[in-house]
Structure 1
Amino acid sequence: MNKILVPIDFSECSAHALEVAATLAKESGASILVLHMLGLSEAILTKNEAQEFMEAKFYMMLTKKRFAEFLDKEYLKGIRVMEIVQNYKIFEELNKVALEQNVDLIVMGSHGTGGLAKFFVGSNTEKVVRTSSVPVLVIKERIQDFKVDKVVFACDFKIEGVPAYHRALQMFRPWNAEVFPVYINLPHVHFKSSEEIAREKDSFLRVAHHGDVPGHIQVTHRNDYSTEEGLYNYAEERGADLIAIPTHGRRGLSHFFQGSIGEDLANRASLPVMTFKI
């Protein structure tokens, strides 16, 4: 990993993301690119040139001052940190920055309060996840010593998901993390028999590993009432540090997250989530 992008809005959530990015940067020798989106209104940008220049200059100076304060963190010592300020107003433009800057990973905080559905839907995080071509790591709370030993990988065992599976394995390999692919079988949504799942699972793994499936790959399926609940229950059972999810852009979230989850589950839905574009 060479470069990590962290969108910054100077909130506590973005501070949590920055701290995790710093841990990853120190482990991999990567640099961190922090991006703040000004989002100036059209009213400002349509003023005469003199007014526009003065107001833009004011906002830039204010942002630089806030950057200086926000980035004055002990955990950033020894890490190369670059700052970008853009007048972006839509989060889809983050993908353009990530591609132009050859970013390997986007790390961002979420203001979500419960469950993966609330975790993404309707938030700026969801907009980034839907449009990002690079993996996105979403952090919900402060993690001082970010470490990933076990990962639950949500999988539907469709061949189109093989590239995302490969990217996930490549991402987690330097961390020496165990990856546990899992299929959540729902009672009323595309329910499959154990035999059907076994056939699809075997086909997926043979293609993904070119016919030579490593012995340490443990694959399972479990029945549950929602994908979210199944993933979190399995992650808890495995003692996972992270849930990894392949997404199809706009189809991805609705495909993997259908329905709502209970309050008890929402209260413990704090695991980091990493998404991989299919």
Structure 2
Amino acid sequence: MNNFIVPIDFSETSKNAARYAAHISTLVPDAHLILYNVFDTLEYGSDSSPLGTEGAEDASRKAIVELALESVRSELSAITNARISVVAEENNNFLDTLEEYVKKNNIQLIIMGLTGATRLGQVFMGSNALNIVKRAIAPVIITPENTHSTSAKNVLLLTDFQDIESTIPIDTVKEVLNLFHPRLFVVNVDHEHYVQVTEEYKAERTKLEDRLKDFNPEFFFIRLFDFVEATNQFVADNHIDLILTFPRKHSWLSNVFKTTSTSKLAYHSHVPIAAINV
């Protein structure tokens, strides 16, 4: 079974990520969606009573969260026939709790919204999404706040064609591609647009073409200075549903969600971005 986990903080952005997960689950015969929420542990006063909760018990708080998750599940059931589970866990550390769950439950994809509908949501679904990417516990699909994508049939793989054997986790890429069996576009956007295609580039392309031959990749070399403009234009022209990126150090794709150009792509694109760590 292919397990996709969707952290839910009940902001519209997290629900939109869940809708995207439901749509792409229709492409995977044995998909299992897990709607996941971590609610804070109660703090107790000197008299051993819960602070600010008027005596509410942990069990009832969990039941309330599960009821809210059930409401999201009901909506998603109209989109997909995939199995959908709800999980609510009590802990003050969302990242550690999610990481432990992912490692123990054979999760293939984490699907999260990038920003939230509220300021609190922006903190939760923004910073936490990026920190989960850094932890490299599983491929993370980041769904922009206004994403309209409902598929993963046209996939764009971004690469700089520099030492692809150590900079692209081919096995993990294949696992993701095997979920959706997409049309695969491999694109290099060279910010030094005056540079000609080199022999080194050709050699790296040949290596990548051989390793991804089962997916019949189509290769494109785009010489435009503006990385974001070039990528967005290619996405629009080719009806791309999902972008694959590989965050790593000392690369034009490093800190993919931090640098000025790539943050624009992440925050303003209508297309989900999958981060697969090297």
TM-score normalised by the chain length of structure 2? 0.76
Q: Residue 184 of structure 1 aligns to which amino acid in structure 2?
A: V
Q: Give the structure 2 partner of residue 99 of structure 1.
A: 103
Q: Percent identity?
A: 18
Q: 1:220 offset after TM fit, Å? A: 1.8
Q: Give the structure 1 partner of residue 156 of structure 2.
A: 152
Q: 1:105 offset after TM fit, Å? A: 0.8
Give CA deviations for 1:116-148 in whole Å, capped at 9, x if unaligned: xx9xx9732211111132111122247788222
**Cα distance 1:173–1:30, how it changes in 2: closer, same or farther (>3 A)?**
closer
Q: Within 5 A, what are the aligned runs for 1:34-49?
A: 34-40=35-41, 44=43, 47=45
Q: Does 2:197 align with 1:194?
A: yes
**Distance of 1:65 and 1:255 partners within structure 2:** 37
Q: Does 2:94 align with 1:82?
A: no
**Distance of 1:112 and 1:229 partners within structure 2:** 25
Contact map agreement 1:129 1:249 (CA 8 A) in 2:
no
**Cα distance 1:104–1:50, how it changes in 2: closer, same or farther (>3 A)?**
same
Q: Does 2:167 align with 1:161?
A: yes
**Distance of 2:3 and 2:263 partners within structure 1:** 37
**Cα distance 1:249–1:100, how it changes in 2: closer, same or farther (>3 A)?**
farther
Q: Which runs of 5+ in 2 are unaligned?
A: none
Q: Give the structure 2 partner of residue 5 of structure 1.
A: 5
**Distance of 1:82 and 1:16 partners within structure 2:** 16
Q: Which runs of 5+ in 1 are unaligned?
A: none
Q: Does 2:185 align with 1:180?
A: yes
Q: Give the structure 1 partner of residue 17 of structure 2.
A: 17
Q: Give the structure 2 partner of residue 242 of structure 1.
A: 242
**Cα distance 1:88–1:32, how it changes in 2: closer, same or farther (>3 A)?**
farther
Q: 1:222 offset after TM fit, Å? A: 1.1
Contact map agreement 2:153 2:181 (CA 8 A) in 1:
yes
Q: Residue 48 of structure 2 aligns to which amino acid in structure 1?
A: A
Q: 1:218 offset after TM fit, Å? A: 1.2
Q: Give the structure 2 partner of residue 31 of structure 1.
A: 32
- 2:175 corresponds to which of 170, 175, 183: 170
| Counterpart secondary structure, 2:49 | helix
Q: 1:152 offset after TM fit, Å? A: 0.6
Q: Residue 198 of structure 1 aligns to which amino acid in structure 2?
A: K
Contact map agreement 2:65 2:88 (CA 8 A) in 1:
no
TM-score normalised by the chain length of structure 1? 0.76
**Cα distance 1:54–1:123, how it changes in 2: closer, same or farther (>3 A)?**
closer
**Cα distance 1:261–1:147, how it changes in 2: closer, same or farther (>3 A)?**
closer
Contact map agreement 2:13 2:145 (CA 8 A) in 1:
yes
Give CA deviations for 1:13-44 in whole Å, capped at 9, x if unaligned: 11111222233445433322222222448xx2
Q: Give the structure 1 partner of residue 63 of structure 2.
A: 64
Contact map agreement 2:13 2:116 (CA 8 A) in 1:
no
Q: 1:277 offset after TM fit, Å? A: 1.6
Q: Give the structure 2 partner of residue 254 of structure 1.
A: 255
Q: Residue 69 of structure 1 aligns to which amino acid in structure 2?
A: A
| Counterpart secondary structure, 1:71 | helix
Q: Residue 182 of structure 1 aligns to which amino acid in structure 2?
A: V
Q: Which moved more, 1:23-32 or 1:150-159?
A: 23-32
Contact map agreement 2:144 2:266 (CA 8 A) in 1:
no
**Distance of 1:88 and 1:53 partners within structure 2:** 15
